[in-house]
Amino acid sequence: MSEKIDLSNYVPSEEEEFMNVNQRAYFRAKLVAWKNDILREARETLDHLAEESANHPDLADRASSETDRAIELRARDRQRKLISKIDAALQHIEDGTYGYCEETGEPIGLKRLDARPIATLSIEAQERHERREKVYRDE
């Protein structure tokens, strides 16, 4: 079983069996790398916020600093939610359900998964979902 896939050389192919060992290892590595990048950025943000906690004597500087801090914290909150989606995708890899649409049970498609590895719906199911949301939003 090839758990260590060189992401620079392996590209999942439609000719292979869907979600074979190599594809699962590829997406696992991609998700773990993405999660590690997010965690690294979060640590950098915390370091930056600690450095920025200096008191600004000028009111405009203080307001600007507070706005920047709020934007960074909102971005980190979005990334925290993204980490939970990444963790869910990793769990789906472990339990053998990764890559299959939650609505139809059909394969999501390698191109979609490569572009959005946390996708849980096929393109068709996602479009139906978005159309339903739009209808409810417009009412």
Give all domains of the chain, ordered by start, each with its CATH number. 18-98 (1.20.120.910), 100-138 (no CATH)
CA distance 76 to 43: 10
Which amino acid makes up residue 75? A
More confident residue, 47 or 91: 91
User: Considering the entire predicted model, what is its pTM?
Assistant: 0.78
CA distance 45 to 55: 18
Of 10-24, 43-57, 77-91, 115-129, the one with minimum mean pLDDT is: 43-57
- pLDDT at position 52 is 63
Q: What is the dihedral of CA 91, 97, 103, 105, to 10 degrees?
A: 180
More confident residue, 28 or 75: 28
Q: What is the dihedral of CA 77, 41, 27, 82, to 10 degrees?
A: 0
Which amino acid makes up residue 34? W
